């Protein structure tokens, strides 16, 4: 009984913390509408364009440390093209795609170290990434001056501000017959819109394409890693199988004389 009580006393704050964490996240989740992106892992020009965007705009802060530069030849490039166009630091072609930023610096500058993106598409899904990367808007109340539709108060700034331009979020009451409409909970129903206050160097259609190609690349990047993992899994099972057989034989050998 007392043991149960102790367990309960220990578990209660933990459960409360979990609920506290889950609560707001859940609220945000229900608001979240993901935009669909079409992925085509056989479209080499799109993957090349995505790889270019990745090394130019992301690698400064994020690594892809499970991916070697020379796997990029699978995108239809020669090793020389990879070296000339996609490698900026004096690294080896067989080296992993590391970020130049040290995790400690990232933590100091942004409050959180930018995570490795090797398998981010598996963790978040393509539609989430597509919505996230196009979802930045100006918000003077945050540390970076940016906010995001699917990642509220994210520590990452909008790295595409020159391409996308600046947007602000507007929340207006929904009007019907010249009157505000109630939301059924004593408040008023609102509609959220985004207004461009400064256009970027790309049109919205071009920008969507840039991000689509990038997400295509991020999805592709997770795939070879998956193949590797499958191979490792296979050899691990094989090794276990061999061990089981050996230990069985050993067992027989030991007990042979006893009977």
- 51, 58, 77, 82: residue in contact with ligand HEC (rule CB under 6 A): 58
User: Binding ligand HEC by CB under 6 A: which of 55, 86, 97, 124?
Assistant: 124
DSSP conformational letter for 92: -
Cβ(168)–Cβ(194) under 8 Å? Answer: yes
**CA–CA separation, 166 vs 257, rounded Å?**
83
Q: Does residue 46 touch ligand HEC according to CB under 6 A?
A: no
Site for ligand HEC (CB under 6 A): which residue of 154, 158, 165, 207? 154
DSSP 182: B
Binding flag, residue 129, ligand HEC (CB under 6 A): yes
Helix (H, G, I), strand (E, B) or coil at 178: coil
Q: Are 132 and 151 spatial neighbours (Cβ–Cβ below 8 Å)?
A: yes
Q: Which of residues 155-214 bind ligand HEC (CB under 6 A)?
A: 155-157, 159
Which is closer to ligand HEC, CB of 71 or CB of 147? 147
The reply to whether 73 sits near ligand HEC by the rule CB under 6 A is no
- 119 binds ligand HEC, rule: CB under 6 A: no
Partnered with residue 165 across adjacent β-strands are: 199
Query: Does 96 participate in binding ligand HEC (rule CB under 6 A)?
Result: no
Q: What is the DSSP letter of 39?
A: -
CA dihedral over 158, 162, 168, 174, signed as positive or negative = negative
Give residues in contact with ligand HEC (CB under 6 A): 57-58, 60-62, 110, 112, 114-115, 117, 120, 124, 129, 132-133, 154-157, 159
């Amino acid at each position: 009984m007392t043991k149960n009580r102790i367990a309960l006393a220990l578990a209660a704050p933990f459960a409360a913390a979990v609920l506290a964490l889950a609560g707001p996240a859940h609220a945000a989740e229900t608001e979240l509408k993901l935009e669909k992106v079409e992925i085509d892992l056989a479209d080499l020009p799109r993957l090349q364009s995505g790889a270019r965007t990745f090394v130019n705009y992301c690698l400064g802060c994020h690594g892809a440390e499970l991916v070697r530069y020379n796997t990029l030849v699978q995108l239809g490039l020669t090793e020389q093209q990879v070296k000339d166009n996609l490698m900026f630091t004096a690294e080896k072609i067989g080296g992993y795609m590391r970020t130049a930023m040290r995790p400690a610096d990232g933590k100091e500058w942004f409050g959180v170290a930018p995570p490795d993106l090797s398998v981010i598409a598996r963790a978040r899904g393509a539609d989430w990434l597509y919505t996230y990367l196009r979802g930045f808007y100006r918000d003077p109340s945050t540390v970076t001056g940016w906010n995001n539709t699917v990642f509220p108060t994210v520590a990452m700034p909008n790295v595409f501000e020159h391409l996308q331009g600046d947007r602000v979020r507007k929340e207006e009451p929904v009007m019907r017959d010249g009157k505000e409409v109630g939301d059924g909970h004593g408040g008023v129903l609102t509609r959220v819109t985004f207004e461009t206050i400064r256009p970027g160097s790309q049109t919205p259609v071009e920008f969507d394409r840039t991000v689509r190609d990038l997400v295509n690349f991020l999805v592709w990047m997770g795939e070879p890693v998956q193949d590797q993992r499958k191979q490792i899994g296979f050899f691990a099972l094989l090794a276990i199988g061999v061990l089981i057989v050996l230990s069985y034989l050993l067992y027989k050998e030991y007990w042979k004389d006893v009977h």
